[in-house]
A = this chain, B = another copy of it.
């Protein structure tokens, strides 16, 4: 039984880590940290935990907190972990960071897209990008685990096998993604009020969204060269879910069966990735509450393009679930521990 601490525990991603760990057979929560709600009972903020989790939010310093646990999850704004992390802390415990601080290897790219300076660039190199299905071996020994973003997890996993197999031209890749509103966080902003979001759809961050370089970097490793893509995120009125619709030109001619076999070879043994039967398009609801990624695809013979589609729950596989999956790998637990959850429909 390992001990776990969560910094930023009262945001939606932090809360989802709490939900998943509460049912985990090998990990227990030692403390929950929150700047905004320090001193308040966690079950008073998220009343779903009433009578189930009797723990206050702490605001103690990280140096003391780190002494008491084996791993810390940071579900914090960009710049938080990179501003405090150092060798001393890393000797105390391991870190799973849900922010973008250690996801991008090139610090200049990070600073350009995030518009903040990086305070511990010397640690970026050793951080492991936590796309579990892709980097499982490296994750085992990671001290700093850079947990991928929600859009990126969905976008990368959906396209990566075909990029790696050289079946699509990555520079023709157009990713349009839809996100539920929990992806916007729990901050008190007018833009995220019910009446501003409900009954509407919009694109945002066009040509400037910060998940773009993260997708490009990972697909670049698969392609063996620099990749430049178009990424357009959208907000749609639902609590949870990411749907990525990705269109790319096929290199040469391919059948549906060939494409399927590439996916199956890549993901065939993966518990959390489900390649849907032909003709089925993924729907976010069929992944809700779970760590699954559902992937479908369709060749468009008229244009010799392929449309790849991926769906996941942004708070689970897109954040907390993948973080727990990575924790499982890091500590040698069953990878599915705490994550064998049936998606809830409706």
Q: Given A178-B236, A236-B237, decide whether A200 and B284 contact each other with a Cβ distance below 8 A.
A: yes
Q: Mark A292-308, 1 if CB is under 8 A from B, else 0.
A: 00100011111101010
Task: Give chain A interface residues in 223-282, CB to chain B under 8 Å.
Answer: 228-230, 232, 234, 236-241, 243, 245, 247, 274, 276, 280-282
Stretch of A66-74, A183-191, A326-334 lying at the B interface? A183-191
**Cβ-based interface call for A47 (8 A):** yes
Query: Once the chains bind, are A243 and B202 in contact (CB under 8 Å)?
Result: yes
A45 to chain B, nearest CB (A): 10
Q: Mark A152-195, 1 if CB is under 8 A from B, else 0.
A: 00000000000000000000001010101110001011101111
**Cβ-based interface call for A197 (8 A):** yes
A223 to chain B, nearest CB (A): 16
A90 to chain B, nearest CB (A): 31
Query: Once the chains bind, are B194 and A197 in contact (CB under 8 Å)?
Result: yes
Residue of B nearest to A340 (CB): B23
Max chain B Cβ within 10 angstroms of own Cβ: one of A22, A204, A245 = A245
**Cβ-based interface call for A51 (8 A):** yes
**Number of identical protomers:** 4
Query: Once the chains bind, are A230 and B207 in contact (CB under 8 Å)?
Result: no
Residue in B290, B311, B346 whose CB lies within 8 Å of A240: B346
A–B Cβ pairs within 8 angstroms, 9 of them:
A47-B280, A200-B286, A201-B241, A201-B284, A202-B243, A202-B284, A202-B311, A206-B298, A230-B247
Q: Which residues of B contact A181 (CB under 8 A)?
A: 193-195, 198
Query: Once the chains bind, are B234 and A243 in contact (CB under 8 Å)?
Result: yes
Max chain B Cβ within 10 angstroms of own Cβ: one of A47, A182, A190 = A47
Query: Once the chains bind, are A239 and B346 in contact (CB under 8 Å)?
Result: yes
**Cβ-based interface call for A289 (8 A):** yes
A249 to chain B, nearest CB (A): 9
**Cβ-based interface call for A88 (8 A):** no
**Cβ-based interface call for A199 (8 A):** yes
Query: Once the chains bind, are B19 and A342 in contact (CB under 8 Å)?
Result: yes
A342 to chain B, nearest CB (A): 5
Residue of B nearest to A297 (CB): B206
Residue of B nearest to A15 (CB): B345
Q: Which residues of B contact A238 (CB under 8 A)?
A: 198-201, 236-237
Q: Which residues of B contact A143 (CB under 8 A)?
A: none
Query: Once the chains bind, are A232 and B307 in contact (CB under 8 Å)?
Result: yes
**Cβ-based interface call for A221 (8 A):** no
Task: Give chain A interface residues in 100-159, CB to chain B under 8 Å.
Answer: none
Residue of B nearest to A299 (CB): B207
A23 to chain B, nearest CB (A): 7
Residue of B nearest to A305 (CB): B230
In angstroms, Cα B286 to Cα A328, docked, is 28
**Cβ-based interface call for A56 (8 A):** no
**Cβ-based interface call for A62 (8 A):** no
In angstroms, Cα B51 to Cα A161, docked, is 20
Residue in B48, B206, B282, B294 whose CB lies within 8 Å of A343: B48
A177 to chain B, nearest CB (A): 10
